[in-house]
Amino acid sequence: MDFDSDPTSLYSVKGIVILDQDGNRVVNKYYDKQTFPTQKEQRAFETSLFKKSQRNSGCEIILLDGITCLYRFNVDLYFYVLGAARENELVLESVLNGLYDSVSTVLRKNVEKKTLIDAMDTTILIIDELCDDGIIMETDPQTIVSRCALRGEDVSFVSDQSLGQIGSNIVGAMKDQLKWSLLK
């Protein structure tokens, strides 16, 4: 599907890319397989995108090879959101801010390459919550983070117990509930 020629298309994002300060890929997700069909073309685009955006800082907009690119730089990472040439920049900025703020919240304001790599699974979940096949699903950082949150005590509770222990705990809790409901 050609995103530029179909005005009724729901597709708003062609890709989301995070590069380090040297232009190396950290995370990427391309939704438009016609514009970026191969890894080689993706890398070539990322290289030219990095060279063009490296000169500026803050949240900027560039038009590169007919693709609207919004980016944000922080410490040693560049966050990019790619859209069609005629895409609304405010919508793309909303996605970029949702991505950055969600990652920043998960990393506890320590947005650096090392901490991002340590939380790679959550970062990929954040990108998946933002967009589904290029369609923007959610841009509110708090909602995205709450959907991606997995409480540490829940994980350790399940992993530290055997299946028999979990079953006996559930049965014990059910007995206590039944006892209290009968006493009322």
pLDDT value, residue 161: 54
Q: By the 8 A CB rule, do 97 and 29 touch?
A: no
19 and 50 share a domain?
yes
Q: Is the pLDDT of residue 114 over 70?
A: yes
85 and 165 share a domain?
no
**CA pair distance 38, 51, nearest whole angstrom:** 20
* CATH code of 41's domain: 3.30.450.60
Q: For 31-102, where are the E strands, in sequence order?
A: 59-64, 67-74, 77-84
Domain interval for residue 167: 159-183
Residue 10 lies in a domain: no
pLDDT value, residue 60: 86
pLDDT tier for residue 33 given thresholds of 50, 70 and 90: confident
82 and 116 share a domain?
yes
Average pLDDT (84-98) is 91
**CA pair distance 147, 126, nearest whole angstrom:** 9
The total domain count for the chain is 2
Residue 9 lies in a domain: no
Residue 65 lies in a domain: yes
Residue 90 lies in a domain: yes
Average pLDDT (79-94) is 91
Which among 83, 69, 77 has a CA at the least distance from the CA of 104? 77
Q: By the 8 A CB rule, do 64 and 80 touch?
A: no
Q: Can you list the alpha helix ranges (DSSP code H) found in 20-84?
A: 39-53
36 and 77 share a domain?
yes
36 and 79 share a domain?
yes
